[in-house]
Structure formats: structure tokens, C-alpha cells
Amino acid sequence: LKEIRRLWREEEADWEDSVPRIYNDVMGEHLDWIQDDLGSFSAEEAEILEEVASKHDVPPKLVKRLLDVELRHHGMKRRASIYNKIDGVFKEDWRT
């Protein structure tokens, strides 16, 4: 479950951190989850981003993915690979 959570947060831009909530809903119990273990954004930021993105007719998940790419590459001395990652995000199908 921790690996699924990590993948969803990193690759699917799950800022709401859905895995702990789903587990609690299905199993009816809480696990000891590490809070903000990835240094990512939260549900509050996701809500604000949704509002701004809808106002400007931009897919919110696109912006989330781009911000996550930047966050993963932040602080690196050599950030050449970030351009390939950004290009990969833009090449995905973003039509609704």
C-alpha cells in the first residue's frame, strides 16, 4: 500500500493522498501513515489549483504533473533531464 501511495502521489499527481482515505473507508481502520513523506502538495493546494485551472481552461492534472516534475528536480545541480520529463508530460493526451 505504501508503494501504491508513492506511485499515485508521484506519477498520478494524487495531491489528495487518496490511499490512506480509501484504506480507511474499506477496512474501517487507520494505519500509521507517514505524513507528507514526499514533500508534495496537499489537498488544499489541489482545491485552489482546480479553481484557477478551470478559470483558465487548463487541465488541472497537467499543471499538477508539471509542478510535481519541477518538485522532483528542484535543487539538482544538473537539471538537463527535466526538459525531457516536461516534454513527456506535454506529449500525453490532455484532451477532455
Name the percent of the chain in helix, strand, coil, to the closest 5.
Answer: 60, 0, 40
The reply to whether 82 falls in a domain is yes
Is position 96 within any domain? no
Domain boundaries, position 11: 2-91
Residue 56 CA, distance from chain mean position: 20
Res 33: pLDDT: 76
> Is residue 35 in a domain?
yes
* DSSP helix/strand/coil, 39: coil
- Look at the chain and report how many structural domains it folds into: 1
CB distance 13 to 64 below 8 Å: yes
pLDDT number for residue 79: 72
> Which is more confidently placed, 94 or 87?
87
Closest Cα to residue 48, out of 30, 34, 60?
60
Q: What is the pTM of this model?
A: 0.66
